[in-house]
Structure 1
Amino acid sequence: MNQKSNFIKSGHYGHKLIMGGVTVMVVTLYGLVFWNVRHTTSALRGTETLFIAQESSLISVIKQVNADYKEDLQTSLNCRPFAECSKLEEAMRIARTYPTRFSSNLAYLTNISSRKETFVSNLLPSILAHNEKVQSEREYLLILKKIKDTGKKLNFEQMQRLNNLALKYKLRRVTIAELLKRVDVIPPSLALGQAVVETGWGGSLAAQRFNSPFGMMKSRTRVFSYNSLQESVSHYIHNLNTHEAYAPMRAIRAKLRNTGEQLCPLKLAEGLLRYSELGRTYTGRVKTIIKSFGFQQYDKARLTSFYQQS
Structure 2
Amino acid sequence: MSAGKRAVILMLPLIAFAIGGGFYTPQASIDRINSDNTGSEPALSSLPPLPSWANDDLPDFSQYQDTTEKKAAFFSFLYPRIVLANSRILIERDYLDSLAAKETLTSKEYDWLAQQSERLRVDAEPGSDEQFALLRKRLDVIPPSLILAQAANESAWGTSRFATKGNNLFGQWCFSKGCGLVPRGRAEGASHEVAKFSSPYRSVRAYIQNLNRHPTYQLLRDVRLEDRRDNAPLSGLELAEGLLGYSERGEEYIEEIRAMIHYNNLEFYDDDFRSVVRNLEPGSLEQLASTEAETGLLPRQSSLKTNPAEG
Regarding TM over 0.5, the answer is yes
Q: 1:206 to 1:229 in 2, by over 3 A?
A: same
Provide the C-alpha distance between the structure 2 equivalents of 1:97 and 1:209, rounded to a whole number of angstroms: 19
Deviation at 1:99, TM superposition (A): 6.6
The answer to whether residue 125 in structure 2 is matched with residue 140 in structure 1 is no
Residue in structure 2 matching 1:166, options 105, 117, 126: 117
Aligned partner of 2:252 in structure 1 is 281
Q: Secondary structure at the match of 2:162?
A: helix
Which structure 2 residues correspond to residues 62-141 of structure 1 after superposition, within 5 A?
Answer: 75-76=21-22, 97-98=53-54, 100-104=56-60, 106-141=61-96
Say if 1:202 and 1:208, in contact at 8 Å, map to a contact too: yes
Aligned partner of 1:52 in structure 2 is none
RMSD: 2.7
Provide the C-alpha distance between the structure 2 equivalents of 1:231 and 1:96, rounded to a whole number of angstroms: 13
Aligned partner of 2:155 in structure 1 is 199
Which structure 2 residues correspond to residues 1-310 of structure 1 after superposition, within 5 A?
Answer: 75-76=21-22, 97-98=53-54, 100-104=56-60, 106-147=61-102, 152-174=103-125, 175-218=131-174, 221=186, 222-299=193-270, 300-301=272-273, 303=288, 306-308=291-293
Consecutive unaligned residues of structure 2, counting only runs of 5 or more, are: 1-17, 25-50, 126-130, 176-182, 187-192, 277-287, 296-311
Q: 1:156 to 1:284 in 2, by over 3 A?
A: same
Q: 1:144 to 1:304 in 2, by over 3 A?
A: closer
Deviation at 1:188, TM superposition (A): 1.2
Deviation at 1:170, TM superposition (A): 1.5
One-letter amino acid of the structure 2 residue matched with residue 127 of structure 1: I
Deviation at 1:204, TM superposition (A): 1.4
Deviation at 1:176, TM superposition (A): 0.4
- Bigger Cα Rg: 1
Say if 2:150 and 2:257, in contact at 8 Å, map to a contact too: yes
Provide the C-alpha distance between the structure 1 equivalents of 2:292 and 2:174, rounded to a whole number of angstroms: 32
Say if 2:84 and 2:289, in contact at 8 Å, map to a contact too: no
Say if 1:210 and 1:225, in contact at 8 Å, map to a contact too: yes
Say if 2:99 and 2:105, in contact at 8 Å, map to a contact too: yes
Deviation at 1:208, TM superposition (A): 1.3
One-letter amino acid of the structure 2 residue matched with residue 195 of structure 1: A
One-letter amino acid of the structure 2 residue matched with residue 132 of structure 1: S
Q: Secondary structure at the match of 1:278?
A: coil
Deviation at 1:218, TM superposition (A): 2.8
Aligned partner of 1:64 in structure 2 is none
Provide the C-alpha distance between the structure 2 equivalents of 1:215 and 1:111, rounded to a whole number of angstroms: 25
Provide the C-alpha distance between the structure 1 equivalents of 2:168 and 2:199, rounded to a whole number of angstroms: 9
Deviation at 1:97, TM superposition (A): 4.5
Q: 1:115 to 1:73 in 2, by over 3 A?
A: farther
* Greater per-residue helix proportion: 1
Q: 1:277 to 1:129 in 2, by over 3 A?
A: same
Deviation at 1:307, TM superposition (A): 0.7
| Deviates most, 123-132 or 185-194 | 123-132
Q: 1:170 to 1:263 in 2, by over 3 A?
A: same
CA offsets 1:7-39 (integer angstroms, 9 cap, x no match): xxxxxxxxxxxxxxxxxxxxxxxxxxxxxxxxx
- Residues matched between the structures, number: 218
Q: 1:159 to 1:218 in 2, by over 3 A?
A: closer
Percent of pairs identical after alignment? Answer: 31
CA offsets 1:109-154 (integer angstroms, 9 cap, x no match): 232321112101222222211112211111111222333xxxx333
Say if 2:57 and 2:200, in contact at 8 Å, map to a contact too: yes
